[in-house]
Amino acid sequence: MNTGPRNLITDVRGLRVGNAHDDALKSGTTVVVGDAPFVASVHVMGGAPGTRETDLLAPDKSVEAVDALVLSGGSAYGLDACSGVVDGLRAAGRGYAIGPAIIPLVPGAIIFDLLNGGDKNWVENPYRALGRQALDAAATSFDLGTAGAGTGALSAMMKGGLGSASLVLPDGSTVGALVAANPVGAVTTPGDRHFYAAPFEIGAEFGGLGPDPASGLGMSLDSRKRQAMSPRENTTIAIVATDAALTKSQCQRVAVAAHDGIGRATVPAHTPHDGDLVFALSTGEAGAGDVMLIGHAAALCLSRAIARAIFHASPRSGDLLPCWSDLNA
């Protein structure tokens, strides 16, 4: 297996990604939309999730496909980004048709970034407009790091961000991951240099420094974030995707497997203060896939995407935490 041509989730055929953000707000939104509706499911392992319309993704629910998925900053306010995406899809005539009614189906999830130093004194919730902007910007290429839903993200020791990665499987199908990494835990080992995800790195996609040679890792739970912010409200939210044809129940199994990628890249993961969640989707543009291999590849992609999110984060005025690049200049 190797990366797709972009090393992005949009290497999965039929997908586009759009970002929108506001630097003063220190927050933003990311949307994944398909050329056509796609099969999707979800699995939540964090103790503090924030979601919209995720119940309909359960395998026993009647909805067979959705029109888009949204990752957003803004905590509960950020769920309104889904409404902006719904507005745009409806204007384009896309959605679930019931007689003359058209209902775009847009599940979403949020990270907590309300106390990251940005100006949150809005009069009107800005996330609906950000959702529409992100949809309008959807393309096969998009920015990583301090972009979209990762704009205001923070990890334990440094800025978080938006990350993505892909793998092409031996049968020619593709798996990709997209993540807004804002975890309680650290993504680098003590010393801020080596990524926990380093054993899974391909080439030098997040610096090429290799694994930390030290032993006994994970015993220290130092956090610059806790020093800068008294609350411990965080989350890593992700989307994994494949163009192999999967059923809704198979997508859920891939979402479960993909959570291993969070645990391999973030220490600790799935805490009571995280809302860790993974959506899994299938565009079905390739043939039937091997669910075990796709789940394994999804976990690998997600670990790499988390490291890439932090690696590509860039400084902004008023930041509470340094970037990886600042600490490793």
Q: How confident is the model at residue 229, as a pLDDT?
A: 62
For 22-54, write each residue's pLDDT tens digit: 999 999 999 999 999 999 999 999 888 899 999
Domain assignment present for residue 50? The answer is yes
Low-confidence ranges of the chain (pLDDT < 50): none
Domain assignment present for residue 2? The answer is no
Q: How confident is the model at residue 47, as a pLDDT?
A: 86
Domain assignment present for residue 1? The answer is no
Domain assignment present for residue 3? The answer is no
Distance of alpha carbon 194 from alpha carbon 188, whole angstroms: 5
Q: Name the burial class of residue 245, with classes exposed (0-12), middle (13-18) and buried (19+) by CB atoms within 10 angstroms of its CB.
A: middle
Q: Within a 13 Å sphere around the CA of 234, how many CA atoms are in the beta-carbon half?
A: 31
Q: What is the pTM of this model?
A: 0.95
Tokens of 323: 């970037």
Angle between helices 127-136 and 81-91 (to 10 degrees): 40
Domain assignment present for residue 61? The answer is yes
Domain containing residue 142: 9-326
Q: How confident is the model at residue 232, as a pLDDT?
A: 58
Tokens of 292: 């075990």
Q: How confident is the model at residue 271, as a pLDDT?
A: 86
Which runs of E-coded beta strand occur in 80-160?
Answer: 96-98, 101-103, 108-110
Distance of alpha carbon 217 from alpha carbon 150, whole angstroms: 26
Q: How confident is the model at residue 209, as a pLDDT?
A: 94
Domain assignment present for residue 4? The answer is no
Q: How many domains does the chain have?
A: 1
Q: Are 326 and 190 in contact (CB under 8 A)?
A: no
Distance of alpha carbon 54 from alpha carbon 112, whole angstroms: 18
CATH at 202: 3.60.70.12
DSSP 245: B
Handedness of CA 264, 267, 271, 275 (dihedral sign): negative
Residue 136 to residues 6, 30, 85, 176: CA-CA distances in angstroms?
A: 21, 11, 9, 22
Q: How confident is the model at residue 202, as a pLDDT?
A: 97
Q: Strand pairing partners for 52?
A: 108
Longest alpha-carbon distance in the chain: 63
If we measure between CA atoms, which residue out of 144, 176, 143 comes closest to residue 160? 144
Distance of alpha carbon 101 from alpha carbon 65, whole angstroms: 17
> Integer distance in angstroms from the first to the last C-alpha of the chain?
32
3-class secondary-structure state, position 204:
coil
3-class secondary-structure state, position 231:
coil
